[in-house]
Structure 1
Amino acid sequence: MASASKRPRARTASTCSLETARGTHAFKIRDYSLHRALAAGLTAGSRFVQSATFTVGGHDWRVRCYPDGAWRDKHTDHVAAYLVLESENAEASAHFALRLVDQTTGQSVLRYDAAPPRAFSTKAGGGKVSTWGTWSFIKKSELEPEAASRYMRDDSIVIECDVTVVTNKKRRVEEDDEAAARDLEAAPPSDLSSNHRTLLEEKTGADVIFEVGDEAFPAHNLVLAMRSPVFLAELYGPMEEKTSQRITIEDMHPDVFRALLHFIYTDSMPDAMEDFEDEDDDDAGGREMTKHLLVAADRYAMGRLKRICEGILCRSLDVENVATTLALADQHHRSNLRNACVEFIASSSKIDDVVASQEHAHLKRSCPVVLVDMLENVTRRLQ
């Protein structure tokens, strides 16, 4: 009798990778001395001041600061700071860092780094909120008015919190014996952006030409339509010019359109503008290009590009450019940029210099009176 053959053994392989979501929240505490004085008379559970809620990784978080210490009977010589999970019935594993902004340079200084990731939980038994942090964020003496602290300006401090939320994602793949025996190789990083950049630079298959000033820019209808609803309407909708493959762009400098195309194809800023953003130098040319690119992004309804330009301009405000930046923000309805300008003017120790600047004088001559009134009202409130 022939022996029964063995059935092949089933083989499987699986991989487990980590996915992360990252975010940064800046928490400004005004009237710091008053908050500290009020906290001194409160119980441990209410001695804090906390930020607005912000979301990272699908969870709601806050930053808490204890200006007079977390407890009344110990560690009383330190300010405490904590990250708080506010989401109900939730669990999260998060790495976070707490920083103080040096208000003489604008750079943030690391004061606490929570590594490895901490386990937060507000599920049954975990409490209404879940907190991790440090009782020794900074010595209280370093924030005394007489200490002339670099972290304090106009009785205000700024705490930055970087949060990285970690989640597990498992993928199970069925393999045969031979495939399961091989090592699973990680996929290489995506090169989609570089491929699109090559497509733009080499112009292969371009089916439309844009004439901007005295320069011509070959491009691809489908890429433009996919990235901008305005281009979609112009190239494929009722606005389409059926007989022409050449489109003239008015009121835009060729360099601005070149930067716009770069972002459309690669979803990133041109290298020169990334250098301007990263180095935080006094690059008036880079700032002006960012302003023009914001206008172009508004013209072509590109929301992500608008937000990026808005962020760069917020971080590069100074006495000489805040007035015209405020006018630009108002014209293009960029509320975050507008608020940053007003905040800069209201908190600046050089408010008189803002009003005396050439850009403010130009603004009075060329822009709506409402903008000038707002600037001058802020000035009167601070006098």
Structure 2
Amino acid sequence: MLLTLATTHPPARDLGFLLHKHPDRVHSFTEPMGTAHVFYPEATDDRCTVALLLEVDPVGLVRGRKGAPGEGFALAQYVNDRPYAASSMLAMALKDVFRTAMTGRCNARPELAAAAIPLEIHVPAVASRAGSDLPRRLFEPLGWRVAVATGPLDPDVPAWGESPYLDVRLSGTLRLAEALNHLYVLLPVLDDAKHYRVGGDEVDKLLRAGADWLASHPESDLIARRYLSHRRELTRSALARLAEVDDTEPEQLDDALGGAVELDPPDRPLSLAEQRRGAVLAVLRSHAARRVGDLGCGEGLLARELLGERTIEHVLAADVSARALRIAGSRLGVERMSDAQRARLTLIQSSLTYRDERLTGLDAAVLMEVVEHVDP
């Protein structure tokens, strides 16, 4: 899959300083889904274009994956649009290779990093099964001019109809960091099918990348719902935190959660377990607890929701089972966490039947799945 970004801001070759990638070299990076290459098809003082090419290994994506019996032999796992159409994979690669540029830092050209410059972005294959109007709804409110082209799925077989893949071109005058954050959030929103399991840390990622624009975006509810894979609890958490910034009334928040039914499937009823976790979160919010212990955390379902709460500064997740803690660490994505996210979480093996000094200093302790096993 391919993405190009160009500027004519003189001297245009300074784009290399902003991206921290020299225009005269090819840069390659190993990603979980394949290999990302950064190179410059053109680099003059009048115009400079950088290209991000992501080579996806479809076999590597499936290798070692656990699923239902026989699933490993499903041809669709190997033959699909994942290697070609822009998706969450391209967004992840974008963040990995341009991480510093996304923060707006450039020691060599700090004044350029802070300036709005003319930018042109081209993504030749965008999966948008919601139609060609969605890219305009997402990017135009952010100051982009959007050109969308489509065509038949196969010119030799007109009966197959229009292709679900769009050729999208964006042009505008924005800060480079703003442009990269727009792409990081909105490419997965267009595709609406993330390649990894979405957990509570995705709320933080969304709000961090959309800090300057998401609250005021007219499609903020649709963006949150699609970015968070239609998980109602996570979407509600994201919209509630956005409402704090935008002073949205609770009634408007409820409307947002139920909106856009023409594009998104209706929310399923909450399970009893989800209702129980929601009730626990409500009590913790009412007491303004900042350091919370999830004692008997099991596989980390509640801990994931606790980490999604901005007001909770630290989560201590404890369980007597080493196996449960390993699963919890995997479910919470500990290996993929940033240092700041990792500092908010402590995973320990501990039993409630013994004194443990590591459990001191908490504002609240939750025994959601354990209290029935504790002697009166």
TM-score, normalised with respect to structure 2: 0.29
Q: Which structure has the greater CA radius of gyration?
A: 1
TM-score, normalised with respect to structure 1: 0.29
Greater percentage in strand: 1
